[in-house]
Amino acid sequence: MNLRKRPRLILNDNMIESETTLLVNETFLSIQGESTYAGLPCFFIRLAGCNLNCAYCDTAYARSSDDGQELSIKTLCNTAVDSGCRLVLITGGEPLLQSGVPELCRCLLAEGFRVLIETNGSVSLKGLPEQVVKIMDIKGLSSGEANKFLPVNLEYLNERDEIKFIIADRNDFDYAVKMIDTHKLDKITGNILFSPAFGSIEPKTLASWIIEDLPPVRMQLQLHKYIWSPELRGV
């Protein structure tokens, strides 16, 4: 891939404290596999540590804080700049467990990146810059973590943000449709995503339910798992 390099970022220490660090599991350049940004080149910052233990978790290797190394925000911003890509996703684990994430977002935004963040919906979104595109999960029944969603987080979402449901069975589907209706999610954003849990349900089954019931959602697949091996990291 022929990427145009940009000059290394020189940060103002008054804007970002030089000693601020985050526990980072991995960084890599790949294709965004999920959300409405699927298919676009994207630089990934995967942070370590999660407060949930979802039954279908596909990033268990980032679940513990022991699975990360300390890197400064300044280093992460410079690495993103060096990637040559203008789209950045902050993910995990659960990135919002780390208090330095809003600073990281501000750093990336100041350098002109489009910044996405994936969050499991159980940690407050308060403090994130409004320009950050928030991709928030609402966990279904099959996850074992359905009671962890914070409804107050809906107050921090806008029409640019996205709400994602992972669907493993019909109970998950019905639960998701009920949540959309109960919380009027389609009035908050038009970006409501239903994703089949990889290996648990056939995509065509989920597609048939969506066609039959016509909820205000977009079906998505985990694109990276069809391009590369589902077990492969760093893609």
CATH number, position 33 = 3.20.20.70
In this predicted structure, the answer to whether residue 1 has a pLDDT above a threshold of 70 is no
pLDDT given for residue 233 in this prediction = 79
pLDDT single digits (tens) 43-62: 999 999 999 999 999 999 99
Identify whether the C-beta of residue 174 lies closer than 8 Å to the C-beta of residue 206: no
Residue 66 lies in a domain: yes
Place of tokens 């985050």: 22
Residue 139 lies in a domain: yes
Identify whether the C-beta of residue 89 lies closer than 8 Å to the C-beta of residue 113: no
Query: Which range marks the domain in which residue 72 is found?
Result: 21-227
Nearest C-alpha neighbor of 115 from the set 89, 78, 146: 89
pLDDT given for residue 23 in this prediction = 97
Q: Which of 17-21, 49-53, 98-102, 230-234 has the lowest mean pLDDT?
A: 17-21
Helix axes 170-183, 203-213, angle to 10 degrees: 40
Instruction: Please give the residue that has the higher pLDDT: either 110 or 15.
Output: 110
Got the DSSP string for 23-76?
Answer: EEEEEEEEE--SSTTTTSEEEEEEEP--S---TT-S-GGGSSGGG-EEEEHHHH
Q: What whole-number distance in Å separates Cα of residue 96 and Cα of residue 107?
A: 16
Q: What whole-number distance in Å separates Cα of residue 60 and Cα of residue 50?
A: 9
Residue 233 lies in a domain: no
Residue 232 lies in a domain: no
pLDDT single digits (tens) 145-195: 999 999 999 999 999 999 999 999 999 999 999 999 999 999 999 999 999
Residue 11 lies in a domain: no
Residue 63 lies in a domain: yes
Domain count, the chain: 1
- By percentage, how much of the chain surpasses pLDDT 70? 92
Confidence of residue 232 (pLDDT cuts 50, 70, 90): confident
Residue 14 lies in a domain: no
Confidence of residue 228 (pLDDT cuts 50, 70, 90): confident
Residue 127 lies in a domain: yes
Nearest C-alpha neighbor of 192 from the set 208, 210, 205: 210
pLDDT given for residue 155 in this prediction = 97
In this predicted structure, the answer to whether residue 11 has a pLDDT above a threshold of 60 is no
Mean pLDDT over each residue of the chain, to the nearest integer:
91
